[in-house]
Copies of this chain bind each other. A is one copy, B any other.
Amino acid sequence: MKIGILGGGQLGRMLIQNALKYDDEWFTIDPAEDAPCSGISNFTQGNFNNYENVFDFGKGKDVLSIEIEHVNVDALFELQESGIKVIPNPEIIETIQQKILQKKFYEKHQIPSPDFQIIQNKSECSFPLPFVQKMNTGGYDGKGVQIINNEQDLENLWNVPSVLESLVDIDKELSIIVAKNENGETKTFPVTEMVADPKLNLLDFNICPAHISEDVQDQINKIADQFIKAADSPGLFAIELFLDKAGKVWVNETAPRLHNSGHQTQDGNANSQFEQFYRVLKNLPLADTEATGFSGMLNLVGEENFRGKVKYEGLEEVLKLPKTYVHLYGKTETKPGRKMGHINVLADSREALLEKLIHIKSLVKVVS
C-alpha cells in the first residue's frame, strides 16, 4: 500500500521504522532536505503548509496522514473529495489546528476544559487574572502559549486571535492516547504522567502508568470516550490533561497524531503507539496496549549554548544500563531546546524508575 505522511520528522521516522516489519511503500514530505524520514522513505522536499505541495504529494496515495498538525487542510479536503483516504479526517485536523475551534469543540461536546474567553485582539480581553493566553494558530512545543499573572503582564498580551483560559491548579499533567480504526474499534494506552521542565517548556520525563486514583482513571476514560465519539474520525489522538488539586481532570489540548507522551510504549508496552497508528492507517485489528511494567521516557534535548554538529556525551554509560533504550532521531545538527532523541527505561517500581531517569539525566548531555 502507498502511504503518504505530511511531515518527515522523528514521529514519521519512528512510524516507518516500526512499519518496516510490514510490506508498504512510504512517502513523506518535509521542507528540510535532511529530515529524519528522508533516507528511509520516498521523500519529497516540500512545504506541507502549501496547497499545491500537499495536493501534488497526496495524489496517487492509498492513504494520507500527518505527523504534524500544521498542514494545509484545504488540500486534504480536496484529496479526500477525489477519493483518497485521509486519516484523521481533515475536519478534526482543522479543529485542532485552531485553538479557538478546538476550545469550542470541547464546549460543544461537554468535554471538561478550563473556562475561557475568545479574543480577536488585545482590546477584547476581559478575562479575570491570572490566565493563560494561547494563540489561535502557530503554537507548537510550548510556543504561542504564555501565562498572564498580573496587570503588568497584561502589557505583554499578544495582539492576535487567542484563547484566554483560566489557570488550573495543577497536581499532575497527564496524557492518554486513544486510537480508532475505520471499523470503529477503539483502544487506549495506559495513562501517562508528564513531568515537565518549566524552562524549556518541553516534556522532560514521562512515567507510565500514572499514579492516579480509580476516580481519576474513570474521569479520563470518560473524556477519551467523549473525545473519540465527538471527533468522529479514525486516527490516533493524544489528549493532554490536567489533574487539579481537587481531583478533577481537565483537557488541556489534543494532538491528532503520534505524541511525545507515548514514546515509552516502544519498549514498555505489548505494542507501541507507532504500531497502533500503523494499524489505524490500514484499518487492521487494533493492537494490545498492555504495559509490561513501569516505563519511563526522558527527552534528549539540545543543551543551551550549543549549536552545530551534535555530540551525545555519556551515551556509552547509558548503554551499559539494563532495560534502557536509546532512540536518536537521525538529526545531525543540535540547537538549544531541539528534540534530538529520547531514552526509554523500564523498572519494577515507580521509585526505581524515577531513580533511573534522574540518574540517566545526570549522565547524558546533548552538545556540539
Contact = CB atoms under 8 A, between A and B. Distances in A.
Interface of A: 13-14, 17, 20-23, 39-42, 270, 279, 284-285, 287-288, 290, 292, 310, 316, 319-320, 322-323, 325-332
A270 B292 CA distance: 12
Most chain B CB within a 10 A radius of its CB, from A13, A20, A41: A20
Contact of A319 (B41, B279, B322): B279
B290 A21 contact: no
Contacts of A40: 20, 39-40
Contacts of A17: 17, 20-21
B23 A330 contact: yes
A326 B288 contact: no
Contacts of A279: 319
Contacts of A320: 285
Contact of A323 (B13, B270, B327, B329): B270
B20 A13 contact: yes
Most chain B CB within a 10 A radius of its CB, from A14, A288, A290: A288
Contacts of A270: 322-323
Contacts of A285: 316, 319-320
**What's the number of copies of this chain in the assembled complex?**
2
A23 B310 CA distance: 10
A322 B20 contact: no
A15 to B, nearest CB: 11
B328 A23 contact: yes
Given A40-B40, A322-B270, A20 B316 contact: no
A40 B25 CA distance: 11
Nearest to A325: B21
A53 to B, nearest CB: 23
Contacts of A39: 40-42
Contacts of A331: 23
A93 to B, nearest CB: 27
A289 to B, nearest CB: 10
A306 B249 CA distance: 56
Nearest to A290: B322
B21 A327 contact: yes
A287 B326 CA distance: 11
A285 B320 CA distance: 6
A20 B21 CA distance: 13
16 contacts: A13-B20, A14-B20, A17-B21, A20-B20, A20-B40, A20-B330, A21-B326, A22-B328, A23-B329, A39-B42, A40-B40, A270-B323, A284-B316, A288-B322, A290-B322, A292-B292
Q: Return the 3 tightest CB-CB contacts between A and B, nearest first.
A: A288-B322, A17-B20, A21-B327
Given A14-B21, A23-B331, A23-B332, 7 more contacts: A14-B20, A20-B20, A22-B328, A39-B41, A284-B316, A287-B319, A288-B323
